[in-house]
Structure 1
Amino acid sequence: MNNETSTEKDKNQQDDNKSSLVDKIQQLGQSNVPQVPDSNVHVLTIIGQVEGHVQLPPQNKTTKYEHIIPQLIAIEQNPKIEGVVILLNTVGGDVEAGLAISEMIASLSKPTVSIVLGGGHSIGVPIAVATNHSYIVPTATMIIHPIRLTGMVIGAPQTFEYLEKMQDRVVDFVINHSNIKEEKFNELMFAKGNLSRDIGSKLVGIDAVQNGLIDAVGGVKEAMGKVNELIGKSKLNDGSTE
């Protein structure tokens, strides 16, 4: 009887753990930060549309910035996590939320590597370049275009000045965290003919690397190798200062 009771308790505990894990995946799109003996590298996903202050319809697949930012704080504070890999497949979204996530990633003290998978469009561009090293798979695309507004727009000079300053914030971040020149980025952003009836450019795989936006073409293997290399260098630097 005791053995049966113990077995039932173990089974119930496993079911509770599985239920908790499923809840976290449903809410955040991933499990909680890794614990020993799990990996020392945390994988963070940015998928769908970056959701900001306005909640998007339920049929939209979104990444909520109020979920991502606390996770980044937890990653920074967890000594067991030594590196971070960012997986991107996003169409863009809220500019301020995207920039907030980008700044948080860029300010992490731990080595970071990003991979652009299906797409890293619009505000996904600064998120992709915010890491220490960035990769893009050969078939992934990145769309660069000027900032757009949705909803009611007040036709006043101040509105356009605000848009221009917001655009400058995005451009400054990208050129300061990648190898692309400001002139080239602006050229791609305002190019005509690349996007149907719109201005902007679509960069596919190697094009993003050749333009200096992304560091290299690669996928999971390359990203994991690079983050482990950066972790090793970080440990060596820490040892040399002691």
Structure 2
Amino acid sequence: MKEEMEEVKETGSANLQNGDKKHCIKLLTIIGEVEGHENVSGNTKATKYEHLLPILAEIEDSEEIDGLLILLNTMGGDVEAGLSIAEMIASLSKPTVSLVLGGSHSIGGPLAVSADYSFIVPSGTMVIHPVRSNGMFIGVQKSLDNMIRTQDRITGFLAGHSRISKERIEELMLNPTELVKDVGSLLEGEEAVKEGLIDEVGGLSNALNKLHEMIDERNEKKNENV
């Protein structure tokens, strides 16, 4: 019990294995700012990518873990770190479900859609905007080219893991009316689903039920192939 509490405290993860379905589910939280190669301020709540990558590798390798539930409430953060986490989640062979709580902004978008199925609470928000030098238009031409390529990587990932087109994502990114003193769009729960960015509006019970269903389906397919 003490080790489990330390894991929650240090990495924001836990094992859920007392449900009726008898599945072992790994719970992973992505909270605050996604921290990359540089440490964020000591007063800022952060999720460290060097904590998450080993956990994701363990999930893939473990015979005991059946699926992954990701809870997100993030302002965004380091683009490269966020994309690396999202790519790892998307590459898992185990069933994965994400749930956006308060918000999943900037690089939180790819993290939310990296799961096999995504939920957002009714009051949850997604913020989509162009890549910025502080994380997620800068005026220096040499850097601008890199920013454009990075932005294409983000829009490509979002479109490739959801039902929204790359063209529509770019429209939302460059919208000058949604965000005060900035360009971009804020999508609330139902809007995010209507745009095809998130699969469904729902809460924790919906996300867990969906994950159990996906695990059962995966187990049935495995048994059929034996």
TM range (shorter): over 0.9
Provide the residue aligned with 1:86 in structure 2.
Answer: 70
Residue 218 (structure 1) aligned with residue 197 (structure 2): no
TM-score by length of 2: 0.93
Counterpart of 1:60 in structure 2: which amino acid? T
1:34 CA displacement: 5.7
How many angstroms apart in 2 are the aligned matches of 1:25 and 1:110? 21
What is the alpha-carbon distance in structure 2 between the residues aligned to residue 80 and residue 174 of structure 1?
A: 30
**Distance in 2 (alpha carbons) for counterparts of 1:36 and 1:212:** 33
Which residue of the other structure, out of 23, 28, 31, is the alignment partner of 2:6? 23
Select 1:229's aligned residue among 205, 213, 216: 213
Relative to structure 1, the CA distance from residue 130 to residue 202 in structure 2 (aligned partners, 3 Å threshold; closer, same or farther) is same
1:140 aligns with 2:130: no
What corresponds to 2:151 in structure 1? 167
Structure 2 Cα separation of the partners of residues 46 and 34 of structure 1: 17
Question: Is the 1:35–1:80 contact (alpha carbons within 8 Å) kept by the matching residues of 2?
Answer: no
Query: Equivalent residues in 2 for 1:173-184 (5 A)?
Result: 173-184=157-168
- Which residue of 40, 49, 70 corresponds with 2:24? 40
- Aligned equivalent of 1:6: none
Preserved CA contact (<8 Å) 2:121 2:201: yes
| Offset from partner CA, 1:2-56 (integer Å, 9 cap, x none) | xxxxxxxxxxxxxxx53x444333321234x467898511111000000000101
Q: For this pair of structures, how many residues does the alignment match?
A: 223
Q: Deviations over 1:59-104 (max 9, x none)?
A: 0000000000000011111111111110000000000000000000
Q: Distance in 2 between matches of 1:167 and 1:205?
A: 24
Question: What is the RMSD of the two structures over their aligned residues, measured on CA atoms?
Answer: 2.0
In 1, are the aligned partners of 2:12 and 2:28 still within 8 Å (CA)? no
Identify which of 87, 94, 102 aligns with 1:103: 87
3-state DSSP of counterpart to 2:13: coil
User: Aligned AA for 1:158?
Assistant: K
Contact 2:97 2:117 in 1 (8 A): yes
d(CA) in 2 for partners of 1:133, 1:147: 25
Distance in 1 between the 2:214 and 2:176 partners?
39
| Structure 2, gaps ≥5 residues long | none
Change (3 A) 1:155 1:188: closer
Other structure's SS at 1:198 match: coil
Using the TM superposition, name which of 174-183 and 38-47 deviates more.
Answer: 38-47
Q: Secondary structure at the match of 1:148?
A: coil
Q: Given that residues 172 and 185 in structure 2 are in contact (C-alpha distance below 8 angstroms), is that contact kept between their aligned partners in structure 1?
A: yes
Structure 1: give runs of 5+ residues left out of the alignment: 1-16
Could you tell me how far 1:240 is from its partner in structure 2?
Answer: 2.0
Distance 2:11 2:124 in 1: 24
Answering whether residue 111 of structure 2 is matched by residue 127 of structure 1, we say yes
Asked if the contact 1:116–1:136 (Cα under 8 Å) also holds between the matched residues in 2, the reply is yes
Q: Do 1:36 and 1:80's aligned partners in 2 also have CA atoms closer than 8 Å? A: no
Q: Secondary structure at the match of 2:178?
A: strand
The corresponding residue for 1:3 is none
What CA deviation, in whole Å up to 9, does each residue of 1:112-148 have, x standing for no partner? 0000000000000000000110000000011000011
- Give, as a single letter, the amino acid of the residue that structure 1 aligns with 2:10: Q
Q: Can you list the C-alpha shifts for 1:194-232, whole angstroms capped at 9, x where unaligned?
A: 000110000001000000000000011111111111111
